[in-house]
Amino acid sequence: MTPSPCINLCKMDPTSGLCAGCYRTLDEIAAWSGFDDRRRDAVLAAIAARRALAASTLPATRPGA
């Protein structure tokens, strides 16, 4: 089973709609336990892209910053 990307830094950024800790949307967080591994892996790929985008921008524009 694919583990949750949650790092217990749960704060939603109202501008991006992403959690500052795990970079998931509220819908992804709420549905995570019902996702199969294929869907979880797709969310993890989206998270990786979101993190890369956040790392390439100014720190003040990152979720939760």
In a domain, 16, yes or no: yes
In a domain, 45, yes or no: yes
pLDDT for the residue 1: 85
Residues spanned by the domain of 35:
9-57
pLDDT (tens digit per residue) in 7-27: 999 999 999 999 999 999 999
Question: Is 61 a residue whose pLDDT tops 90?
Answer: no
Residue 64's pLDDT band, with cuts at 50, 70 and 90, is low
* Residues in a beta bridge with 1: none
pLDDT (tens digit per residue) in 28-60: 999 999 999 999 999 999 999 999 998 888 665
| Total domains in the fold of the chain | 1
* Residues in a beta bridge with 12: 19
In a domain, 3, yes or no: no
pLDDT for the residue 18: 97
The dihedral formed by the CA atoms of 17, 20, 4 and 54, expressed in degrees to the nearest 10: 90
Check if the beta carbon of residue 56 is closer than 8 Å to that of residue 5: no
In a domain, 4, yes or no: no
